[in-house]
Amino acid sequence: MKKTVVLITPLLILVMWITLTGDIYRWSPDADLAFASTGDATEVYTGNGIVGSITRAPIVPDGDVAGAPTDLVLDLDTSLDPSVTGRSLLAGKTIKVILPEEFENTGRLLTQDFFTSPTCVPGNLQCNSAILLQGWPQHPILPSVPPGQGLSRYSVTLEGTHIMVITANVDLTPGAPLPGPGIKQIHLILNGFRNPAPGFYDIQVLAKTGADGAIETGLGRVQILPQIRPSINVTSFYNPGSPNTIYQETSPGELAPLPYDLLLWDRNGAPMEGVTLSMVNPTHGLLVQGENSVGQFFIDTPPGASGQEIFSAAPSVPVPAPVSGVPTARLTAFFRAGSEVGEYGVTFELNGGNAVQMFVRVHEEID
């Protein structure tokens, strides 16, 4: 699929970074599964060692499709819950991500730190790069601050033809240099690579993220698909400051503080315009496009809860996807908590595609 490049103004670049955690598939914070399946959608296999799973990045519809540029997110084996501490990478230490030889390095693009060149910025990703993430969209640890200048936090290089190397230039620890839980994910933006034939491939990680820089290892399995499938992805791009939309808190009967902005692609990689939400019963609803159901959503509630709802104020509209600039559609959904305190799970899924899940903790009083 030919990708449309959308140029982004320098002012927007500072707030434009999106990397979803990859797709979060019908997952519970306490789950320990061999894999999670979304029906006839992609199966997401858990890895071993420090690799939790590997999924398509949420800023493109085809990052895991055969023949398309490689665009993946590696989840480490730490819960994405922001209350759980992530990993550290001390100055001089490295994380190496080793791609199988089946992934084709075309040799046409340079490996660069994000923001260091006009060809490696949001809207013009003509590079190979990697970004360290803290577990939710738009909240990365940027390689340098201000972007492209000032203090260099870490560098990204290519070793040989298939090993991406991230080297810390300062101590990258929870709470520093960016407030947050620490390193939980790695976004691989490899537009100079092409995905191999459909099948399952193992990606190895060698990371000096253990105590005092000790080496930790892991292996993750990614499924490369024969063709694009419908996809739904949550983004924090439209919320100033990129707060965490995946984990929120509110009071009984109240709206979650932040709406869910969902990016929608159909099975051809085109924007899914005109999609709305329709509640069927207190815990289940449909995503509707015209007269057709194109997906569904669920609300998992504490026992006895009533009055919870999910709704949209307007149908999905076409927008450029944050960072990549690929045309997509944005649907804004709102969640209202039910009558009972406890944890609510919100899951959206597309027919024949993936699913994303968010959580809302409901307390009697929220300061």
Cβ contact 117:129 at 8 Å: no
User: What does the alpha-carbon distance between residue 186 and residue 75 come to, in Å, rounded to a whole number?
Assistant: 7
Amino acid 67 reads: G
User: What pLDDT shows up at residue 325?
Assistant: 93
Strand duo 247-250 + 355-362: pairing: parallel
Side-chain-side CA neighbours of residue 114 (13 Å): 31
CA 182 to each of CA 89, 90, 177, 267, 315: distance values in angstroms, whole numbers, following the listed order: 9, 12, 9, 35, 36
Please provide the CATH number assigned to the domain covering 22-224: 2.60.40
What is the arithmetic mean of pLDDT over 338-342? 98
Q: How far apart are the first and last CA of the chain?
A: 47
CA 248 to each of CA 227, 252, 363: distance values in angstroms, whole numbers, following the listed order: 34, 13, 11
- Where, residue-wise, is CATH 2.60.40 in the chain? 22-224, 231-362
Task: Between 22 and 321, name the one with better pLDDT.
Answer: 321
Number of continuous H segments (helices) and E segments (strands) in the chain: 1, 29
Q: pLDDT class for 17, splitting at 50, 70, 90?
A: very low
Q: What pTM did the predictor assign?
A: 0.86
Cβ contact 349:355 at 8 Å: yes
Cβ contact 316:323 at 8 Å: no
Side-chain-side CA neighbours of residue 63 (13 Å): 25
Pick the closest to residue 145 from 39, 241, 13 (CA basis): 13
Q: pLDDT class for 105, splitting at 50, 70, 90?
A: very high
pLDDT tens profile 154-171: 999 999 999 999 999 999
User: What pLDDT shows up at residue 117?
Assistant: 87
Among 13-17, 221-225, 270-274, 296-300, whose mean pLDDT is lowest?
13-17
Cβ contact 210:77 at 8 Å: no
Question: Which 8-state DSSP code applies to residue 172?
Answer: B
Map residue 314 onto helix, strand or coil.
coil
Q: Is the pLDDT of residue 285 over 90?
A: yes
pLDDT tens profile 216-238: 999 999 999 999 999 999 998 88
Structural tokens at position 337: 């908590």
Map residue 245 onto helix, strand or coil.
coil
User: What pLDDT shows up at residue 142?
Assistant: 83
Q: Which CATH architecture has domain 231-362?
A: Sandwich (2.60)
Structural tokens at position 262: 């969902």
User: What does the alpha-carbon distance between residue 169 and residue 175 come to, in Å, rounded to a whole number?
Assistant: 16
What is the arithmetic mean of pLDDT over 236-249? 89
User: What pLDDT shows up at residue 299?
Assistant: 99
Q: In percent, how much of the chain has pLDDT > 70? A: 86
Q: Is the pLDDT of residue 99 over 50?
A: yes
Pick the closest to residue 234 from 300, 147, 328, 114 (CA basis): 328
